[in-house]
């Protein structure tokens, strides 16, 4: 085995850059020489403050201590997302991270619940999900009895990048400060080096593009095209602002629909992240800002920040000797908090397929195939929220209600409506319960359900449903308040 290390150059910092650096150095550090290039003068997006539960397993993989991370990033716990005004103007439903009820191999729990409802009992589907009921009661613990609770985090994205940078540099990652002025390639089209504004040349064997929407390497230099999905997802703008916390943090994100977009509210320990996502075709920047600022719960502590984007993805995330990670590989609006998840799955794939030499054409092809499937599933899930609206109070919602949707999503919706069947894709992110909660939350009630739910006689089904419902209620009653758990477990160090 040769002693020479593969030289990896990461272009760009922020969450995607420093998460890339720390992931590689923590798992493959003995095989790689890692340099990250960034400029203090280039700001990061820094508003991706909500996550999904997959981040916990990823943190364990790369050796991040939960309490240390949460204290450093003023983090809170997240049990799901509450959607307000999406189906109709006064509607509200919850997409939780928990398992609903108890499934069987033949039929999902929502089908047993539908049978119970048809027989006149069963209550609300929400009553059977511990995480959902705990969220609404503002309660949290990592587990109750023998049951682990499924959760994610809200955190300060800028502090997260700083946290990861410190760990990366301590582990041996080299940081180079400066603008990238020139990207050099060899005769085969592979990148060979980055030249900085001060004239310094950073050579490498493999390059990771974390330059955000600019996509300096994968887009500008390697000329990989971008697949525009704005015909499916019309939003192209966002405004973000931070506010003082005026109440104890709740353990969930809020996504509140407006006449031409939606607003997020993400509670941290000592402030709240807010923003509005909208389409400039249907709403002016001034009106968007007015809507956002008029619907805040605390005093602003930052200037509103404008963002522009085009939803979609790179035609190839891996091309030549370069992989795009984060915004340089594509963007799906933050409705389901998937941005950081897509960074972690990109890095997992890269570490599994890392090109230590030889022909990598087939590796890159497989990598790009998996990225495509994953992005399309998340895209469909986001479209689902918009397309199933019954709102007719604005051109924005008229557009979404009547637009043509991907065949993959139309197929999924039709099967659920006709038969109540939902499934998990091979590479897809969202569980059956996630699809069920959003489809039902947005108004699709199946016309029939699997008759396996009728195997139990009425009294037996009633007893089973009562046991499950009581189990959830009793568990929630024993949980501490979310804010109390945070104060004991991971109090913020500083803002």
Mind giving me the DSSP string for 146-194? TEEPP-EEE--HHHHHHHHHHHHHHTT-EEEES-EEEEEE-TTS-EEEE
CA pair distance 375, 386, nearest whole angstrom: 17
The pLDDT of residue 47 is: 58
Q: Exposed, middle or buried: residue 32 (CB in 10 Å: 0-12, 13-18, 19+)?
A: buried
For residue 1, the model assigns a pLDDT of 42
Can 462 be counted among the known catalytic residues?
Answer: no
CB atoms within 10 A of CB 223: 9
Contact status, residue 25 vs residue 64, Cβ threshold 8 Å:
no
Helices vs. strands in the chain: H and E counts, helices first:
14, 23
**Bridge partner residues of 7 (DSSP):** 33
3-state secondary structure of 209: strand
In sequence order, the 6+-apart residues with CB closer than 8 A to the CB of 413 are: 384, 388, 439, 444
pTM of this prediction?
0.96
What distance in Å separates the CA atoms of residue 232 and residue 407, rounded to the nearest whole number? 12
Q: Identify the active-site residue in 78, 136, 167, 316.
A: 78
Residues of the chain with CATH 3.50.50.60: 6-76+155-230+311-376
Task: For residue 485, give both structure tokens.
Answer: 């758990």
Residues of the chain with pLDDT under 70: 1-3, 42-48, 494-495
Q: How far is CA 287 from the centre of its chain?
A: 27
Measured from the Cβ of residue 103, the count of other Cβ atoms closer than 10 Å reads: 15
pLDDT at 364: 97
Question: What pLDDT, on a 0 to 100 scale, did the predictor assign at position 411?
Answer: 97
- Count the Cβ atoms, other than its own, within 10 Å of residue 175: 17
Q: Which pLDDT score, from 0 to 100, does residue 382 have?
A: 98
* C-beta of residue 131 within 8 angstroms of C-beta of residue 471: no
Backbone angles phi, psi at 377, to 5 degrees: -65, -45
Contacts of 3 by beta carbon, 8 Å cutoff, 6+ apart:
none
Q: Please report, for residues 57, 307, 401, the alpha-carbon distance to residue 304 in angstroms, rounded to integers and kept in the order given.
A: 34, 10, 30
Class (C level, CATH) for 6-76+155-230+311-376: alpha beta
Query: What per-residue confidence (pLDDT) applies to 46?
Result: 53
């Amino acid at each position: 085995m040769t002693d020479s290390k593969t030289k990896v150059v990461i272009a760009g910092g922020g969450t995607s850059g420093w998460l890339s650096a720390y992931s590689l150095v923590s798992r493959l550090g003995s095989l790689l020489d890692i340099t990250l290039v960034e400029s203090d003068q280039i700001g990061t997006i820094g508003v991706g403050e909500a996550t999904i539960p997959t981040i916990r397993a990823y943190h364990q993989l790369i050796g991040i201590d939960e309490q240390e991370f949460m204290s450093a990033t003023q983090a809170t716990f997240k049990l799901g997302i509450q959607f307000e005004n999406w189906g109709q103007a006064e509607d509200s439903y919850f997409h939780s991270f928990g398992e609903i009820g108890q499934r069987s191999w033949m039929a999902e729990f929502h089908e047993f619940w539908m049978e119970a409802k048809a027989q006149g009992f069963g209550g609300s589907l929400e009553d059977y999900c511990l995480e959902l009921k705990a969220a609404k009661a503002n309660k949290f613990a990592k587990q109750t009895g023998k049951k682990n609770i499924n959760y994610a985090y809200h955190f300060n994205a800028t502090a997260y990048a700083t946290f990861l940078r410190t760990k990366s540099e301590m582990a041996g990652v080299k940081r180079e400060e400066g603008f990238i002025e020139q990207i050099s390639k060899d005769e085969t089209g592979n990148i060979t080096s980055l030249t900085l504004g001060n004239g310094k040349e950073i050579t490498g064997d493999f390059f990771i593009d974390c330059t955000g929407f600019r996509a300096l390497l994968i887009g500008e230099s390697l000329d990989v095209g971008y697949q525009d999905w704005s015909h499916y997802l019309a939003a192209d703008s966002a405004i973000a602002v931070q506010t003082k916390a005026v109440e104890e943090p709740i353990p969930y994100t809020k996504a509140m629909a407006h006449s031409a977009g939606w607003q997020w509210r993400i509670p941290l320990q000592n402030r709240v992240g807010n923003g509005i996502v909208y389409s400039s075709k249907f709403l002016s920047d001034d009106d968007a800002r007015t809507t956002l600022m008029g619907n805040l719960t605390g005093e602003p502590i930052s200037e509103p920040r404008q963002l522009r984007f085009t939803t979609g993805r790179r035609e190839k995330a891996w091309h030549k000797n370069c992989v795009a990670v984060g915004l340089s590989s594509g963007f799906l609006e933050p409705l389901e908090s998937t941005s950081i998840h897509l960074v972690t799955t990109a890095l997992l794939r890269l570490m599994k397929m890392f090109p230590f030499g030889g022909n990598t054409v087939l590796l890159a092809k497989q990598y790009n195939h998996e990225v495509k499937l994953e992005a399309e599933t998340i895209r469909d899930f986001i479209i689902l929220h918009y397309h199933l609206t019954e709102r007719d109070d604005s051109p924005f919602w008229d557009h979404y209600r009547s637009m043509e949707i991907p065949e993959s999503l139309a197929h999924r919706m039709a099967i659920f409506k006709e038969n109540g069947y939902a499934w998990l894709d091979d590479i897809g992110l969202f569980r059956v319960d996630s699809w069920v909660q959003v489809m039902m939350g947005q108004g699709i009630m199946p016309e029939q359900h699997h008759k396996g739910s009728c195997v139990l006689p009425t009294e037996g089904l009633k007893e089973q449903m009562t046991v499950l419902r009581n189990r959830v209620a009793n568990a929630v009653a024993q949980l501490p308040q979310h804010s109390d758990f945070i104060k004991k477990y991971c109090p913020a160090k500083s803002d």
